[in-house]
Amino acid sequence: MAFLVTFFEVNFMHIFSLIILIAIGIDYGIYMSRTDKPSSTMLAIKYSLLSTFAAFGVLVFSSITALNSIGLVITLGIATIFILIKVMK
């Protein structure tokens, strides 16, 4: 969020996207804590992150401000979650 505040004007859709991103992070955390096979769960989460990145990443290129805001926040958040999963290993 500090990145957004520094370089962009924050709007309602940024906040809405953060709520979605928090839900995604909690969901992945639940999957990680309730697994018997952490390596296969990590692989499933990585594929899920890539598909989410592909779906929301396209919105960054939209000329509509609301869609661009959603795409920007979720793309940055998904990239951060992916990096944190790599560090967790």
Chain segment 26-58, per-residue pLDDT in tens: 888 887 777 788 788 888 888 888 898 899 889
Q: Are 73 and 14 in contact (CB under 8 A)?
A: yes
- What is the pTM for the complete model shown? 0.78
Q: What is the pLDDT of residue 85?
A: 79
Q: Where are the alpha helices (DSSP H) in 1-89?
A: 2-7, 12-33, 38-57, 65-88
Query: Of 35, 21, 41, which is closest to residue 85 (Cα–Cα)?
Result: 41
Across the chain, mean pLDDT equals 84
Cα-trace Rg, the chain? 14
Q: What percent of the chain has pLDDT above 70? A: 93
Cβ density class 33-44: b for 16+ within 10 Å, e for less: eeeeeeeebbee
